[in-house]
Structures are given as structure tokens and as C-alpha cells.
């Protein structure tokens, strides 16, 4: 026995020496290969806190079994996961026995003690459970000073994320392996708010526009929002540098300074700016091009020699050049390089890196990741087919179209990539990768305006509906596979209100039988209270549409309606009372639409043209023809230097004509915020007994000028002139004119449409017209995914 003890003591001392010579990472062995030899014994060395039996219980290797190097490595990982040992505290040594078997010795360096208690002194604004999650420490864990220090950093970052910039966290116990407790002393400090953000030294850019580039925002009223996070300072500095470089200030320097208030509860952030010289373009070169003449490519670019250097414009030029090559089946890599030729002047070079002069074609199209959505839904968005010339800009267009479907995860957006074709280098395979997400949505909202009063809105919307995917098992319902995956849209909506109610079910198939035709069907019930009568309208509509090109769309629709005119006052004229009661209508309409606007919400250029003709049959027979044209103009000369803040001039004209025998509920009316401001809702037009009887001819026009008020382009002032008329017959007798001004607010949290407030005064009005100086419209919408 003494000899055995001496042997073991020698072994424990000798193992580190063997480890140094073996140079293994996490395991050691003798000179010969032990793989497959029978294990005579597994022994441990260096363990004082945990017994050999505890270590062997963690391992899967056993005495009497063949030695498996992969299993030994897995055992090392298992032992390390117990957190009983230091990070590099496990070594394995194999020694040969005289009978051909081997002895395996596990040499360990233990963490000296276990954690008896974890204390967070002074932590009041973070719950104990969250603190345990941040540090990962529990009573009974091995004492690990490195892990304790990492936990200290995690707590401190959490406080700083909460705006407690001056918080301190100190590890007072647990920094030594011999400690038995982990104790953090926390001084939380106040939540630090950003009182002001100031810019010093800026002349080429306004402070208001610089503020819009920042992640850091000041507290509203000194109380709401505006938590200070020092991690955002560097992000803000880089954003400001990029903004200045886009304006041509290529050597701009910016340094942030944090100034503390006396009570440490607020800070003022000062950005010290050295703008330097605004650079201009001395020359513009295109090099590396062999397929197309330089003059042809230069005509595609926007950056002008002699003009200021604008990095955003240069990036747009790169996109145009890549698209020029890409539309011709060539994936050219193009870089923009600028060289300072003298202070304030740069030479710009667009360098074409791989002008191969070859056209690529589409090989296979591989779709991955769609477990529920049909392949055809994705195919319909690609505009790419095998064998076609591979027009590379269509790849990016396909990404955007897939993203706009709203059925894929925006945190992991759809990817459309080119991969080599294994058979022919002239063909390129296209791999489409998507990740599906929740596509159902419950929408709660409402609106209030001067025309319709208060209206609520509750809607259930499914963007990836499949009308014919019936459930085949309970799992199809449980896991959301039933009636999903067809790329269709189903919307059920209820909009109760004080004067107007709407209930509808709408189904939309954007690619009917995988063709370019779209089908929309809807069933609805409307109820509206007018001054002249109350109206119930129920029915359905079927519309078939076809996108002719990116801006033109044609459509044909049919509506079948029942209309009930009721509660007609006893003094109503015959032109109203004759249409009281229930009526049946069948309308057949053809329409055409052209849209080139750059934005649906705040357009600055482009136009919209919409025209249609409908023949109505049933209890009444009459035609309806409508046409509307809207044009938007803006000028970069009336914008800020960075292109924002554009003044917009808009013109709109609406013309509508109906047959003379059109009933009162199908005639035209005007007045209100979305029609003719300065007049009340339906306050323009022919009147009898002070009741609006509507007209069969309508001509409405608007001229509106919009000016941004705030640097972030979230508030606009508008001035407008509304003019036009509504007449009994196709003529102009009483031409109305009103002028006014208003304010538009863009509040993303309240929905996509802006808040609108207008004041208007009629300059000329017709007999019986009803004035209304103030008009407004506000909406509030929220949604919940499902």
C-alpha cells in the first residue's frame, strides 16, 4: 500500500509535465495509440471536493470496455458542463499496463468551493428573478470568479439600458476561488434623461435635420422618454458622419460631449462638429467597361461634373449602372472610388470589376423554407422562369415583392440568391429561401371626422388564406395548416359608428389559377344616417383585375345590391320621397387605373388617373361615368440640401356624370373634408325644402400646396383652393369656390393616415349651400398577430 500511495502521488505530480509535452487540447495520451484497447481502470487525480464516484457517474466510459477516443472527448465535455472545474481544468492521461490493457487517469483542477449564497445589495428596480437570469448564478454552483465578474458586467449593462447611466455594480465577494458567497453591491442612481441635444460648429446642415439622424432623443417635457444610453453615442456619431459625407463634407469630424446636471438626473449631449470643406466633382470616370461604350454608361449616371459631391447620388449611380448590366444578363461588380485632386475637389471613378461580356440565363429555381405556403404563391412573385435571360434587378424586385406579401418573417426576410449551376456555367440557379410567420391579424381601431362622426373598427385578417385547404386531421387545425398557404387574403370587418355602420367579408385571390388576373369578392352591409333619410345597403361585389404593366391596371366588376331608403321626413320633396322603400340594383362596371406616385401617403411627384363606366340595371336603369386625375409636383430647389423637406403642389380633378333617372341614393353630393372644404358633409348641391337632393353631374377640383414645418417631415402646413359644382343636369350654374389652410400630422403609432385639421371659407356658394368652417379627420389603429 505505501508503494501504491507513492505511485499515485508521483502520478499526480507528473501529470502536468506529461500535459506540457503531449500538447493536447482537453485530452492526453501516451506515445502509442490507445484506441480500442481494453480499459483496465479509470482513476482520478486532483479532486478534493468531488469524489471519484461522482466524476465516474458523469462519464460514459467504463472499465472493461474498449477505449474510445471520441467517447473520452465527450466525457470531458460532460465533466466541464458540471461547472465543478476551471475552464482548462480537465486532462486525460492513458498509460499502458503489462497485460496490454490501459489505465485512464482523469486529472482535474477543481473550483475551490461552492456558492453558499448570492446577494444583490441595493438592487431595487430589477427583480431577483431577472438578476438571477442576468448572472446565471445559483446557490450550490461551483465558485467561479470569472463567471461572477461576467455577471457583474451583465447587471451594469442592464441598468445602463434602463437609463441609469451613473449606476455602479461592485463584486465585493466572489472574486476569489476560496470565497463561499457571491455579493454584489449595487448603487442604482437615478434614471438619467436627455435634457437637450446641441450641435456646435454646424453651418452646412441645420440642427433640426441633424437631430433626425440620431438614435438618442431628448425627453419630452423633461419627463417622458429620452432615457440616456451611452452605447448610442458612437452610433449617433457615425450616423452624423455619414450624413455629412452624403452632403459632400468628406473630412467632417464629430466628437460627442456629455454634460451632467448637478443632481445627475439629466445630461446635455453636445456634438462638436468640424465640417471642413464641401467637396465638388472635378471629373467623373468610368473604367473597366468593355461591353458598353463609356458615353452610354455615363448617360445613365446622375452625378454631375462641377456639382457638389453627393455620396447618396453616387450610390444611386452604382445601382443604375449595375441595373444596366443586370437587365442584360450580366452581374457586374461596380465600385465607386473618389480621389482628392486638391482641397475641395474630388475625381470620381466608377470602376467595373468583372465585365465578362456574357449573358447569364436562369437555370433551376429552388424554393426552400415554405412548409405551409404553396410554391406557386412564391413563383408568382418572381417574374423569373428557367431559360430566360437572368435579369439581375428582378432578384431584388422579387425580394421586395415577397416581403410585401406580409406572410414571411421580417426579422429573417426572404432571400433570392444566385448559385452556380453544376451542369452549365452559362446557367445560374436561383435559390429562394423564406421563413414563414404568423399571417393572421386582429385589428382594433377607430376614427373620428367631421363627416361621419365616431366610427369603431374591428377586423380579422388572414394574409395567407387558402380557400380549398380543408383540414384532414386535428393537427392541421392545431398547427395552423388548415385554410392557410394559398397566398389569398380573407378579411372580416365590423365598423360600428354613430352615423355610419359597415360590416363586410372580403376575399382576394391575387393570382387567379396562377394567372396575372386577380379576383376580389365581397359581401357587405352598410347603414348610414343622412339628414334626408336613412339608408340600408347590402349586397356583394365581384371584381376581376389585370395589371397590364407596373403602372396600368384594368378591371371589370359586378355589384348586386339591395337598397332600403327609410325614415324619409314628411316634408321631403318628391325627388326624395319617390325613391323610398326597397330596391334592387345590378351594376356592371369597367375601369382603368394608372398610378405613378412615389408614395401612397405623402406623394411628392407622379400622378394618378382612374376612370370607369358602369351600367346599372334592376329597378332603375341608368349609366354612371367617373374620371379622376391627380398630379403632384415638387422641386429640389425648394427642398433642404439633403433632399428632404420638399414643397409639394397638387392638383386634383374629379368628373362624374349619371343618367337623369338615377335615384336619390345614387346621385352625387359634395362637401366635407375629403370632398369640398368650407361646406358641411353633403352641403353642396341642389336643395329642395332645405334637403339635399343630389345631382347627376359633378365637377370638383382642388389645388393644394404643402410645406413641411418640422425638420423630421412629420408635420406639414397646407394651403388650398377647392372649387367646383354639383348640378341637376350636365351644366354649370352655381360654381363654388372656397379657400383655406390646414395642418397635417404624421403619427406612426396612430396608423398610416395623417391627422388632418382644416379651416376653409367659401368665397362663392350656391343657394341653399351649408357652410362649415372647420373640418378634421383622426384615426387610431392597432393590431395583434395570431
**For every residue of 472-512, which 3-state class applies, written as one string?**
CCHHHHHCCCCCECCCEEEEEEEECECCEEEEEEEEEECCH
Eight-class DSSP state of 513: G
pLDDT at 217 over 90: no
Q: What is the mean pLDDT of residues 6-30?
A: 42
- Give the model's pLDDT for residue 223: 62
Write down the pLDDT at residue 781.
55
Query: Does one domain contain both 742 and 690?
Result: yes
pLDDT in tens, 23-76: 333 444 454 788 888 999 999 998 877 789 988 999 999 999 999 998 999 999
pLDDT at residue 753 tops 90: no
- pLDDT category at 164 given cuts 50, 70, 90 is confident
Q: What is the mean pLDDT of residues 700-709?
A: 95
Would you say residue 377 has pLDDT above 80? yes
Question: Do 585 and 444 reside in the same domain of the chain?
Answer: yes
Residue 466 and residue 484 in one domain: yes
Average model confidence (pLDDT) for the chain?
89
Confidence of residue 741 (pLDDT cuts 50, 70, 90): very high
How many structural domains compose the chain? 6
Question: Quick one: 71 and 180 in the same domain?
Answer: no
Cα 712 to Cα 715: distance, rounded to the nearest angstrom: 8
pLDDT over threshold 80, residue 614:
yes
Judged against a pLDDT cut of 60, whether residue 711 lies above it is answered with yes
pLDDT tier at 783, thresholds 50, 70, 90: low
| Cell 495509440, located at residue | 33
| Together in a domain, 126 and 211 | no
**Are residues 528 and 576 both part of a single domain?**
yes
In this structure, the answer to whether residues 327 and 426 fall within a common structural domain is no
Q: What is the pLDDT of residues 383-440, one digit of tens each?
A: 889 999 999 999 999 999 999 999 999 889 999 999 888 776 788 999 999 999 989 8
Query: 342 and 366: one domain?
Result: no
Average pLDDT, stretch 219-224? Answer: 67
**Is the model more confident about 255 or about 751?**
255
Same domain, 658 and 549: yes
In this prediction, residues 640-662 reach a mean pLDDT of 93
Position with higher pLDDT, 578 vs 85: 578
Q: How far apart are CA 572 and CA 578, in angstroms?
A: 10
Q: Where is average pLDDT lowest: 109-123, 192-206, 301-315, 547-561?
A: 109-123
Give the C-alpha distances (Å, rounded to integers) separating 443 from 398, 413, 781: 28, 23, 7
- Predicted confidence at residue 112, as pLDDT, reads 66
CA distances from 177 to 32, 50, 143, 234, 374 (A): 37, 15, 6, 37, 59
Say yes or no: 161 and 258 in one domain.
Answer: no
Predicted confidence band at 522 (pLDDT cuts at 50, 70, 90)?
Answer: very high
Q: Is the pLDDT at 681 greater than 60, yes or no? A: yes
- Tell me, what's the pLDDT at 88? 81
Neighbours of 525 (CB within 10 A): 15
Query: What CATH number is associated with residue 703?
Result: 2.40.160.50
* Confidence (pLDDT) at 616: 98
Are the beta carbons of 247 and 204 closer than 8 angstroms? yes
Q: How far is CA 709 from the centre of its chain?
A: 26
pLDDT in tens, 111-154: 767 788 999 999 999 999 999 999 999 888 878 888 899 999 99
92 and 125 both lie in a single domain? no
* Residue among 755, 648, 646 at smallest CA distance from 702: 648
Of 312, 329, 352, the position where a domain reaches its end is 352
Residue 328 sits in a domain of what CATH number? 3.10.20.310
Q: What is the pLDDT of residue 519?
A: 97
- pLDDT band (50, 70, 90) for residue 769: very high
State mean pLDDT over 461-488: 91
Query: What would the mean pLDDT of 766-770 be, rounded to a whole number?
Result: 91
Does the structure show a pLDDT above 90 at 528? yes
Judged against a pLDDT cut of 70, whether residue 557 lies above it is answered with: yes
Q: Residue 167 belongs to what domain range?
A: 117-187
Domain final position from 92, 110, 128: 110
Residue 677 pLDDT exceeds 60: yes
Domain boundary among 222, 247, 274: 274
Same domain, 729 and 627: yes
Amino acid at each position: 500500500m505505501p508503494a501504491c500511495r507513492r505511485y499515485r502521488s508521483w502520478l499526480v505530480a507528473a501529470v502536468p509535465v506529461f500535459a506540457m509535452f503531449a500538447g493536447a487540447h482537453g485530452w492526453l495520451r501516451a506515445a502509442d495509440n490507445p484506441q480500442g484497447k481494453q480499459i483496465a481502470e479509470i482513476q482520478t487525480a486532483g479532486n478534493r471536493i468531488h469524489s471519484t464516484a461522482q466524476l465516474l457517474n458523469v462519464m460514459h466510459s467504463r472499465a472493461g470496455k474498449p477505449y474510445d477516443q471520441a467517447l473520452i472527448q465527450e466525457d470531458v465535455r460532460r465533466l466541464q458542463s458540471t461547472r465543478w472545474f476551471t475552464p482548462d481544468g480537465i486532462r486525460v492521461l492513458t498509460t499502458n499496463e503489462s497485460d496490454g490493457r490501459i489505465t485512464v487517469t482523469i486529472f482535474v483542477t477543481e473550483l475551490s468551493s461552492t456558492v453558499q449564497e448570492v446577494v444583490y445589495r441595493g438592487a431595487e428596480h430589477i427583480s431577483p428573478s431577472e438578476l438571477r437570469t442576468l448572472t446565471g448564478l445559483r446557490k450550490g454552483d461551483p465558485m467561479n470568479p470569472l463567471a461572477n465578474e461576467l455577471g457583474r458586467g451583465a447587471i451594469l449593462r442592464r441598468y445602463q439600458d434602463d437609463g441609469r447611466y451613473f449606476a455602479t455594480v461592485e463584486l465585493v465577494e466572489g472574486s476569489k476561488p476560496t470565497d463561499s458567497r457571491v455579493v454584489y453591491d449595487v448603487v442604482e442612481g437615478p434614471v438619467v434623461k436627455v435634457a437637450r441635444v446641441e450641435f456646435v460648429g454646424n453651418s452646412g446642415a441645420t440642427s433640426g435635420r441633424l437631430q433626425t439622424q440620431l438614435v438618442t432623443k431628448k425627453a419630452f417635457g423633461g419627463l417622458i422618454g429620452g432615457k440616456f444610453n451611452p452605447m448610442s453615442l458612437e452610433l449617433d456619431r457615425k450616423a452624423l458622419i455619414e450624413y455629412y459625407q452624403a452632403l459632400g463634407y468628406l473630412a467632417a469630424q464629430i466628437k460627442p460631449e456629455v454634460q451632467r446636471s448637478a443632481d445627475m438626473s439629466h445630461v446635455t449631449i453636445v456634438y462638436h462638429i468640424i465640417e471642413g470643406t464641401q467637396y465638388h466633382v472635378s471629373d467623373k470616370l468610368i473604367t473597366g467597361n468593355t461591353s458598353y461604350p463609356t458615353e452610354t454608361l455615363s448617360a445613365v449616371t446622375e452625378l454631375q461634373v462641377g456639382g457638389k459631391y453627393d455620396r447618396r447620388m453616387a450610390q444611386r449611380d452604382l445601382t443604375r449602372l449595375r441595373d444596366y448590366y443586370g437587365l442584360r444578363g450580366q452581374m457586374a461588380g461596380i465600385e465607386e472610388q473618389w480621389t482628392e485632386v486638391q482641397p475641395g475637389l474630388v475625381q470620381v471613378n466608377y470602376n467595373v470589376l468583372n465585365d465578362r461580356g456574357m449573358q447569364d440565363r436562369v437555370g433551376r429555381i429552388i424554393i426552400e423554407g415554405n412548409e405551409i405556403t404553396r410554391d406557386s404563391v412564391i413563383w408568382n412573385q418572381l417574374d423569373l422562369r428557367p431559360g430566360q435571360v437572368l435579369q439581375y434587378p428582378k432578384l431584388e424586385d422579387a425580394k421586395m415583392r415577397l416581403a410585401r406579401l406580409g406572410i414571411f418573417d421580417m426579422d429573417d426576410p426572404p432571400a433570392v440568391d444566385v448559385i452556380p449551376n453544376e451542369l452549365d456555367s452559362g446557367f445560374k440557379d436561383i435559390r429562394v429561401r423564406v421563413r414563414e410567420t404568423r399571417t393572421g391579424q386582429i385589428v382594433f381601431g377607430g376614427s373620428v371626422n367631421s363627416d361621419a362622426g365616431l366610427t369603431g373598427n374591428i377586423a380579422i385578417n388572414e394574409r395567407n388564406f387558402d380557400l380549398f385547404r380543408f383540414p384532414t386531421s386535428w393537427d392541421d387545425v392545431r398547427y395552423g395548416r388548415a385554410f392557410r398557404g394559398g397566398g389569398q387574403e380573407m378579411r372580416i370587418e365590423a365598423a360600428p359608428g354613430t352615423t355610419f355602420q359597415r360590416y363586410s367579408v372580403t376575399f382576394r385571390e391575387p393570382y387567379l389559377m396562377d394567372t396575372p388576373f386577380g379576383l376580389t369578392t365581397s359581401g357587405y352591409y352598410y347603414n348610414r344616417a343622412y339628414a334626408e333619410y336613412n339608408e340600408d345597403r347590402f349586397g356583394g361585389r365581384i371584381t376581376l383585375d389585370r395589371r397590364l404593366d407596373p403602372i396600368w391596371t384594368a378591371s371589370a366588376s359586378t355589384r348586386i345590391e339591395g337598397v332600403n331608403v327609410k325614415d324619409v321626413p314628411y316634408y321631403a320633396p318628391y325627388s326624395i320621397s319617390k325613391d323610398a322603400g326597397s330596391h334592387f340594383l345590378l351594376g356592371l362596371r369597367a375601369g382603368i387605373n394608372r398610378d405613378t406616385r412615389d408614395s401612397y401617403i405623402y406623394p411628392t411627384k407622379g400622378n394618378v388617373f382612374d376612370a370607369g363606366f358602369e351600367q346599372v340595371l334592376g329597378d332603375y336603369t341608368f349609366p354612371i361615368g367617373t374620371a379622376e386625375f391627380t398630379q403632384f409636383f415638387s422641386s429640389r430647389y425648394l427642398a433642404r440640401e439633403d433632399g428632404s423637406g420638399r414643397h409639394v403642389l397638387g392638383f386634383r380633378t374629379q368628373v362624374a356624370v349619371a343618367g337623369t333617372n338615377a335615384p336619390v341614393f345614387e346621385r352625387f353630393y359634395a362637401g366635407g373634408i375629403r370632398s369640398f372644404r368650407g361646406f358641411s358633409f353633403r352641403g353642396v348641391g341642389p336643395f329642395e325644402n332645405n334637403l339635399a337632393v343630389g345631382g347627376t353631374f359633378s365637377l370638383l377640383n382642388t389645388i393644394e400646396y404643402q410645406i413641411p414645418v418640422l425638420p423630421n417631415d412629420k408635420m406639414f402646413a397646407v394651403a388650398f383652393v377647392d372649387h367646383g359644382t354639383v348640378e341637376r343636369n350636365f351644366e354649370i350654374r352655381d360654381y363654388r369656390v372656397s379657400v383655406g389652410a390646414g395642418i397635417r400630422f404624421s403619427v406612426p403609432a396612430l396608423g398610416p393616415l395623417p391627422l388632418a385639421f382644416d379651416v376653409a371659407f367659401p368665397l362663392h356658394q350656391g343657394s341653399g349651400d351649408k357652410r362649415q368652417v372647420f373640418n378634421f379627420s383622426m384615426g387610431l389603429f392597432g393590431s395583434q398577430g395570431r
